[in-house]
Homo-oligomer: A and B are copies of this chain.
Amino acid sequence: MTAIMILGLVAAGLTTVAFIPQVHKTWKTKSAKDLSLGMYLIFTSGVVLWLIYGILRKDIPIIAANAVTLSLTLVLLYFKIFYKE
């Protein structure tokens, strides 16, 4: 595995796990008022396309990163809609 591949995997890892603190904060505060529904709808559709892209190219890192990101952004979408106030 080349240094550049490792860099790509770390980048993918960071932009995936980044959503965990947001899920935790929103779950704890039960407040999603400041989160943009538009952002999470657009971002989630982009992640779905990345997932299809990864599957078509049989690219495991892209599939893995976007499957995790998709589950996290779907949770945030659920919170955003569910904690409507």
This protein's copies in its complex: 2
Interface residues of A (CB under 8 A from B): 4, 7-8, 10-22, 24-26, 29, 31-40, 42-43, 45-47, 49-50, 52-53, 56-57
Q: Do B49 and A14 touch (CB < 8 A)? A: yes
If over half of A's interface residues share one DSSP class (helix, strand or loop), that class is named, otherwise mixed; here it is helix
Residue among B15, B25, B38, B46 making CB contact with A47, cutoff 8 Å: B15
How far apart are the CA atoms of A76 and B37 in the complex, in Å? 15
Q: Is the CB of B46 within 8 A of A15?
A: yes
The interface residues of chain B lying within 8 Å CB-to-CB of A36 are: 21-22, 24-26
Q: Is there an interface contact between B14 and A46, defined as CB atoms closer than 8 Å?
A: yes
Q: Which 8 A-B pairs have the closest CB atoms?
A: A14-B46, A21-B38, A11-B49, A15-B46, A18-B43, A34-B34, A18-B42, A22-B36
